Amino acid sequence: MLILAIDLYGIHPFTQAKRIVLKPGMNTLLGPNGSGKTMVYQALAAVLMNSSPKGMALIDNKAAQAAITLQDKDGGVHRIARDFRKGEWLLSKMNPETQKFDSPQNDPEKISAWLQTMAGGLDAQARSLLFLIDRFRLPSYGAMPETGTLPLPENIASTNGWKPLSETDALLPNLQPPEPQKEQPTSGSDKTQALNDLEKQLEAMEEEHDTLLQKQDQAKSIRNRIEQWQEREHGRKQMAEAEAKKYKYFLTEGPLASSHLRDFEEGEKERNHLLSDIEEETDLVKGDLDLYQTTQGPIWKDPLMLSGIGLIVLSFLLPFIVTLSGLYRYLFLLGVLGGGSLSAFAYYKIIRRMAITRSLKNTLQALDEKRQVITEEFNKKNQIVFTYLEKTGAKDLVELRSLQTAFANLTHKKEANEKEITRILDGQTLETLDKQVEELEKDAAALSEKLKGLEEVSREVYRLQENLRKADTDYGSLEDTFFPDAGLELTSAQEEASFYSAIFSIKKDGSQAVQREQLNQNAGQVYRFFQTANQKPLQVKNDGTIYLGERSLYQLSTGMADQVFLSLALSTLVQFSGLPFPMLLDDPLAHLDRRSKAVVAKVLQQVSKQRQIILFSTDATPPPESGHTLNLV
């Protein structure tokens, strides 16, 4: 079984769709913390081992999917995809004739059974225990229980509850049809020469593939510039329309000086204060005028005038009543004099009220004239402000200020927009950018057509490597000790699963002693590569505890405990060397010293001759002697 490519979408830190192309043998994925190594590792585990996606960082508002393109031992190409938001799982196979993935399988039980068959009968938990090693399983990370038993992974999900993933939701595009099959070499030297030629061809094609990606990225970058220019140009038109409709007067006359606005405000305050005083004085005068006008009436209605006239009339009627002799003569004189006096006093009062009324009216007129003078002087002094108010349609100074501020902001935005347009174009024109995109896309299309057989060449390289590996039995001193020809021959899935259970859950009666002794022997040999002076045996006892000499695993230092654990984990693979199932390692070497890393790297190089290795690491220390190395950033 060979993983050809991994596709991720909607999973941090990959904001865009990410494709990782793998090769046979050793694959080292390098990247610093945060580059997405663990996310790729968990995605692989979720798809191949059916483990829980718990802990995966999904991007909001995007479909979260992972898909794996793989090749089985017969050369068939399959695709397994999972949608982590919808909880869906899909298996499909490439049709050799149409070169498209069809016949999708969405039954979780059948997919699980297919994966188990591909793994030689190992179920999901067994695959996880054998072929997944991450730093959190190491004793140095606290995964070791008090009894010192071998740490096992957690959160192994069952297939229950998964819904089918529709073919339209599948992530991977259809692979390109392979090139016509060439005549296959037969002899070992011919195979080696063919492999070398294909590896050179694959390397050249991968360089062209990198060039293709660069051209696609360049075209995308230029298209983004064009889109940015279009957005800026649209903004320019909108601002021009706003200026023409709302700020037309400002365009021709410019904004009003702040000094005019300040003088207008100060003058308005002074004017309002003076007019307020005039209004108060006017109210007082009007009150007095109303009072006098209310008490003032016609002369013939004045009581004193009527009394005086009546007294005079009675005095002249007196002779007709009595003879004017004696005292009556004085009554006549008193009546005439008294009536005249009353009439004269009444007339004086009327004349005086009329004079006061005229004076109050004159005062009111003077106040009104003063009000008009103040208003005219204010209007004349601030004529320019009133002109702006009229031309701009502003109701008052507050609205005028608001319009001026909005116009200033619009002007600033226009300037910034023009600078951004200049930056985007960078001395070029839109026509030039369009032409560049056209040329890049044309080159990319030509390269894409040229690279149609890339994956077929990769599969052919792997096939030749596999043939050469089967013919090559001399693996050197490390291989002689690590892969002795004494492993259990697995003839059925049930035997394999039984043996696997026996390794990690040894019965107390020791009925599985043969397998345990073989595991102890292999692990001890590997551990001596870590500790050359070690003569103490490494044992997994009947109760499942792990001992180095007389000390159990949890009594060792964390560095030694990690070395023992890795010796055991890698040694179990000898019993399953007939299963070419990929092995995934998520930075298990981070806390090892340089020499220990070199030991593990050498062991993995030997293991990679039997199966595909995918190692996630923060650095390339020590660098792999062979294999495929790629950076996630």
Reduced to 3 states (helix: H, G, I; strand: E, B; else coil), residue 511 is coil
Match 């865009």 to its residue by tokens: 16
pLDDT of res. 108: 84
In a domain, 399, yes or no: no
The larger pLDDT score, comparing residue 10 to residue 140, is at: 10
d(CA 494, CA 116): 11
Q: Are 267 and 406 in contact (CB under 8 A)?
A: no
Q: Is the pLDDT of residue 372 over 90?
A: yes
For residue range 178-222, list pLDDT tens digits in order: 344 444 555 556 767 777 777 777 778 778 878 888 888 888 989
Same domain as 610, residue 470: yes
What is the pLDDT confidence band of residue 544, given thresholds at 50, 70 and 90? low
The larger pLDDT score, comparing residue 459 to residue 420, is at: 420
For residue range 85-114, list pLDDT tens digits in order: 887 888 898 888 787 887 788 888 888 888
Same domain as 104, residue 114: yes
Same domain as 265, residue 239: no
pLDDT of res. 565: 83
pLDDT of res. 512: 42
Query: In terms of residues, how long is the chain?
Result: 633
For residue range 144-187, list pLDDT tens digits in order: 443 334 444 433 333 333 333 333 333 333 333 334 444 455 55
pLDDT of res. 160: 31
At which of 384, 417, 451 does a domain end?
451
The larger pLDDT score, comparing residue 331 to residue 458, is at: 331
Q: CA 507 → CA 515, 533, 554, distances in Å?
A: 12, 32, 21
**Nearest one of 71, 58, 21 to 460, comparing CA atoms:** 71
**Nearest one of 562, 599, 587, 585 to 140, comparing CA atoms:** 562
Same domain as 583, residue 471: yes
In a domain, 398, yes or no: no
In a domain, 160, yes or no: yes
For residue range 293-314, list pLDDT tens digits in order: 776 666 666 777 778 788 888 8
Q: What is the mean pLDDT of residues 436-456?
A: 82
pLDDT of res. 193: 76
Q: What is the mean pLDDT of residues 449-462?
A: 71
Beta-strand ranges (E) seen in 98-250 are 100-105, 132-134, 163-164
Same domain as 137, residue 31: yes
pLDDT of res. 357: 85
The mean pLDDT value of the chain amounts to 76
Instruction: Record the pTM.
Output: 0.47
**Range of lowest pLDDT (160-164, 207-211, 238-242, 246-250):** 160-164
What is the pLDDT confidence band of residue 488, given thresholds at 50, 70 and 90? very low
Domain that residue 459 falls in: 2-179+452-631
Same domain as 155, residue 7: yes
Same domain as 286, residue 161: no
For residue range 585-609, list pLDDT tens digits in order: 888 877 777 777 888 888 888 778 8
At which of 382, 417, 451 does a domain end?
451
Match 């298990």 to its residue by tokens: 588
Q: What is the mean pLDDT of residues 469-474?
A: 42
In a domain, 602, yes or no: yes
What is the pLDDT confidence band of residue 377, given thresholds at 50, 70 and 90? very high
For residue range 549-565, list pLDDT tens digits in order: 888 877 777 778 888 88
In a domain, 499, yes or no: yes
For residue range 490-535, list pLDDT tens digits in order: 223 333 333 334 455 543 344 444 467 777 788 788 888 787 767 7
Tally of structural domains, the chain: 3
Same domain as 530, residue 413: no
Highest mean pLDDT, choosing among 9-18, 470-479, 536-545: 9-18
Reduced to 3 states (helix: H, G, I; strand: E, B; else coil), residue 209 is helix
Q: At what angle do helices 594-607 and 513-530 cross, to 10 degrees?
A: 130
| Amino acid identity at 370 | K
| Amino acid identity at 423 | R
d(CA 272, CA 264): 12
Q: What is the mean pLDDT of residues 18-36?
A: 87
The larger pLDDT score, comparing residue 572 to residue 408, is at: 408
Angle at 418 between CA 401 and CA 431, to 5 degrees: 150
**Nearest one of 141, 211, 247, 219 to 559, comparing CA atoms:** 141
Question: 489: domain CATH number?
Answer: 3.40.50.300
What is the pLDDT confidence band of residue 279, given thresholds at 50, 70 and 90? very high
Q: What percent of the chain has pLDDT over 90?
A: 8
Token pair for 622: 């020590």
Q: What is the mean pLDDT of residues 342-346?
A: 81
| Amino acid identity at 580 | P
Same domain as 609, residue 463: yes
Q: Are 353 and 292 in contact (CB under 8 A)?
A: yes
Same domain as 296, residue 314: yes
Longest alpha-carbon distance in the chain: 184
In a domain, 57, yes or no: yes
Element (H, E) at 402: helix 397-425
pLDDT of res. 365: 92
Same domain as 134, residue 16: yes
CB atoms within 10 A of CB 249: 18
pLDDT of res. 514: 41
Same domain as 427, residue 341: no
Sign of CA dihedral 243, 246, 247, 249: positive
For residue range 408-438, list pLDDT tens digits in order: 898 899 899 999 989 898 888 889 889 988 9
CB atoms within 10 A of CB 178: 19
In a domain, 157, yes or no: yes
Reduced to 3 states (helix: H, G, I; strand: E, B; else coil), residue 378 is helix
At which of 393, 418, 440 does a domain end?
393
d(CA 385, CA 406): 18
